[in-house]
Structure 1
Amino acid sequence: MPSTVNVKSVTRNVGWSVLSKTGTFGLKFVTVPILARILTPEEFGTVAVALTVVQFLAMIGGAGLASALIIQREEEMDIVHSAFWANLAISMAMALGLFVFALPIATLLGAPDAAYLLRIMSLLIPLQLGGDVAYALLARRMNFSKDAAWSMISETVGALVAVIMALAGFGVWSLLGQLFVSALIRLAGLYAVSGYVPRLVFSFRRVWTLSRFSLGMMGSEIANFITFQSPMVVISRYLGLSDAGAYSAANRFSSIPNQIVLSAVMGVLFPAFSHMGEDRARRSQALMLSTQVTTVLLAPMMFGLWALAEPAMLVLFGSQWAAAWPVLGLLALSKGILTPCSTYVPYLKGIGQGAVLFWWAVIRAVVTTGAVAYGAINGSLVEAMIALCIVNVLTLVGYSWVVFRADRMPFFRGFFVSTRPMFAAFAMALAVRFLLERFGSHVPSAVLQLLVGAAIGGVIYLILMALMERKLLGKLQQMIRQRGAATPAPEPAE
Structure 2
Amino acid sequence: MPPTVNVKSVTSNVGWSVLSKASTFGLKFVTVPILARILSPEEFGGVAVALTVVQFLAMIGGAGLTSALVIQREEEMETVHSVFWANLAIAILMAIGLYAYAVPFAALLGAPEASYLLEIMSLLIPLQLGGDVAYSLLARRMNFSKEAFWSMIAESTGAIVAVVMALFGFGVWALIAQLFVSALVRLCGLYAVSHYMPRFVFHPGRVLKLSRFSLGMMGSEIANFITFQSPMVIISRSLSLADAGAYSAANRFASIPNQVVLSAVMGVLFPAFSGMVEDKQRRSQALLFSTQVTTVLLAPMMFGIWALAEPAMRILFGPQWAYAWPVLGLLALSKGILTPCSTFIPYLKGVGHGRALFWSAVVRAIATTLAVAYGAATGTLVDAMIWLCIVNAVTLVGYSWAVFRADGTPFLKGFSISCRPMMMALLMALAVRFLLDHFGASLPNPVLQVVAGAITGGVLYAGLILFSERSLLGKIFQLIKNRGRIV
TM-score by length of 2: 0.99
What SS class does the counterpart of residue 5 from structure 1 fall into? coil
Residue 353 (structure 1) aligns with: 353
Residue 465 of structure 2 aligns with an amino acid whose one-letter code is M
| Inter-partner Cα distance in structure 2 for 1:284 and 1:355 | 18
1:477 CA drift (Å)? 1.4
Establish whether residue 467 from structure 1 lines up as the match of residue 467 from structure 2: yes
| Inter-partner Cα distance in structure 2 for 1:94 and 1:212 | 22
Residue 405 (structure 2) aligns with: 405
1:352 CA drift (Å)? 0.4
| Inter-partner Cα distance in structure 1 for 2:328 and 2:212 | 40
1:212-291 equivalent positions in 2, closer than 5 A: 212-291=212-291
1:134 CA drift (Å)? 0.4
Residue 150 (structure 1) aligns with: 150
| Inter-partner Cα distance in structure 2 for 1:434 and 1:81 | 58
| Inter-partner Cα distance in structure 2 for 1:228 and 1:274 | 25
| Inter-partner Cα distance in structure 2 for 1:473 and 1:209 | 44
Residue 187 (structure 1) aligns with: 187
Residue 476 of structure 2 aligns with an amino acid whose one-letter code is L
Residue 152 of structure 2 aligns with an amino acid whose one-letter code is M
1:277 CA drift (Å)? 2.5
| Two-structure CA RMSD over aligned residues (Å) | 1.0
Residue 209 (structure 1) aligns with: 209
Residue 191 of structure 1 aligns with an amino acid whose one-letter code is Y
Residue 78 (structure 1) aligns with: 78
Residue 131 (structure 1) aligns with: 131
1:149-174 Cα offsets, whole Å, 9 max, x none, are 11111111111100000000000000
1:458 CA drift (Å)? 0.6
Residue 164 of structure 2 aligns with an amino acid whose one-letter code is I
| Inter-partner Cα distance in structure 1 for 2:6 and 2:326 | 43
1:80-125 Cα offsets, whole Å, 9 max, x none, are 0100000000000000000000000000100000000000000000
| Inter-partner Cα distance in structure 2 for 1:405 and 1:284 | 11
Residue 492 (structure 1) aligns with: none
1:297-376 equivalent positions in 2, closer than 5 A: 297-376=297-376
1:93-132 equivalent positions in 2, closer than 5 A: 93-132=93-132
Number of paired residues? Answer: 486
1:73 CA drift (Å)? 0.6
What SS class does the counterpart of residue 409 from structure 1 fall into? coil
Establish whether residue 36 from structure 1 lines up as the match of residue 24 from structure 2: no
| Inter-partner Cα distance in structure 1 for 2:4 and 2:328 | 42
1:476 CA drift (Å)? 0.9
1:391-419 Cα offsets, whole Å, 9 max, x none, are 10111111110111111111001100110
Residue 213 of structure 1 aligns with an amino acid whose one-letter code is F
| Inter-partner Cα distance in structure 1 for 2:265 and 2:71 | 17
1:434-481 Cα offsets, whole Å, 9 max, x none, are 000001111000000000000001111111111111111111112222
Residue 363 of structure 2 aligns with an amino acid whose one-letter code is I
1:181-240 Cα offsets, whole Å, 9 max, x none, are 111110001000001111111011000001000000001001000000000000000111
1:2 CA drift (Å)? 2.9
Q: Which moved more, 1:21-30 or 1:247-256?
A: 21-30
| Inter-partner Cα distance in structure 1 for 2:169 and 2:426 | 42
What SS class does the counterpart of residue 147 from structure 1 fall into? helix
Residue 482 (structure 1) aligns with: 482
1:5-61 Cα offsets, whole Å, 9 max, x none, are 101100000001111111123221110000000000000000000000000000000
Residue 68 of structure 1 aligns with an amino acid whose one-letter code is A
What SS class does the counterpart of residue 197 from structure 1 fall into? coil
CA contact under 8 A between 2:356 and 2:406: conserved in structure 1? no
Residue 161 of structure 2 aligns with an amino acid whose one-letter code is V
Percent of aligned pairs sharing the same letter:
75
1:418-437 equivalent positions in 2, closer than 5 A: 418-437=418-437
Residue 449 (structure 1) aligns with: 449
Residue 193 of structure 2 aligns with an amino acid whose one-letter code is V
| Inter-partner Cα distance in structure 1 for 2:25 and 2:201 | 38
Residue 56 (structure 1) aligns with: 56
CA contact under 8 A between 2:304 and 2:457: conserved in structure 1? yes
| Inter-partner Cα distance in structure 1 for 2:401 and 2:407 | 10
1:350-404 Cα offsets, whole Å, 9 max, x none, are 1101121111111111110111000001000000000000110111111110111
Q: Which moved more, 1:113-122 or 1:347-356?
A: 347-356
What SS class does the counterpart of residue 278 from structure 2 fall into? coil
| Inter-partner Cα distance in structure 1 for 2:46 and 2:190 | 30
Residue 328 of structure 1 aligns with an amino acid whose one-letter code is L
What SS class does the counterpart of residue 87 from structure 1 fall into? helix
| Inter-partner Cα distance in structure 1 for 2:302 and 2:239 | 26
